[in-house]
């Protein structure tokens, strides 16, 4: 191990290569590391379609009004993330149904899932990758 560090120190180029290898390794592991700290369960676009079709899941779009109107999942309810806590009473009648929460990238939805689960919505899940992943999977969006 000591000879490795001596080899690295001999040339700045060796140090740059080692640093680049270390950085790329961290970037590859980053999604796995952050997943452990994200709360709530996530489903991919195809799993979300199955929940919608088989279990009558309700899709809740957490994006801002402009983003929602530009294109949203068919049948989705618009509930901006910043209004979620104040408007929880509107969702009370859906407590027993699966809820699929969608945002642009999936990060806001994961946080919203934690809020809903703390309030008794046990079947709330986030759309992994958000609307971006939905579009990449070739799924349709409804324009307003």
List, for residues 98-139, the tens digit of each pLDDT value.
Answer: 999 999 998 899 889 999 999 999 999 999 999 999 999 999
Query: Residue 50 and residue 123: Cα distance in Å, rounded?
Result: 14
Percent of the chain at pLDDT exceeding 70: 94
Q: Give the mean pLDDT of 76-98.
A: 94
13 or 45: whose pLDDT is higher?
Answer: 45
Every domain of the chain and the residues it spans: 2-37, 41-136
Task: Write 34-41 long-range contacts (CB < 8 A, 24+).
Answer: 38/110, 39/110, 39/111, 39/113, 39/114, 39/117, 40/110, 40/113, 40/114, 40/117, 40/124, 40/125, 40/126, 41/113, 41/124, 41/125, 41/126
Which pTM does this prediction carry? 0.74
pLDDT confidence tier of residue 40, bands split at 50, 70 and 90: low
pLDDT confidence tier of residue 55, bands split at 50, 70 and 90: very high
Tell the CATH superfamily of the 41-136 domain: Rhodanese-like domain (3.40.250.10)
């Amino acid at each position: 191990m000591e000879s490795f560090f001596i080899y690295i120190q001999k040339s700045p180029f060796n140090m740059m290569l080692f640093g680049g290898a270390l950085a790329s390794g961290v970037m590859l592991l980053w999604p796995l590391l952050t997943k452990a700290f994200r709360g709530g369960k996530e489903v991919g676009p195809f799993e979300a379609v199955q929940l919608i079709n088989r279990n009558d899941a309700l899709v809740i779009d957490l994006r801002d009004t402009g983003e929602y109107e530009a294109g949203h999942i068919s049948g989705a309810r618009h509930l901006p993330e910043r209004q979620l806590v104040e408007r929880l009473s509107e969702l009370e009648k859906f407590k027993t149904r699966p809820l699929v929460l969608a945002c642009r990238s999936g990060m806001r939805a994961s946080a919203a899932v934690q809020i809903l689960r703390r309030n008794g919505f046990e079947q709330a899940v986030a759309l992994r990758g958000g609307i971006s992943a939905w579009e990449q999977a070739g799924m349709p969006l409804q324009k307003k």
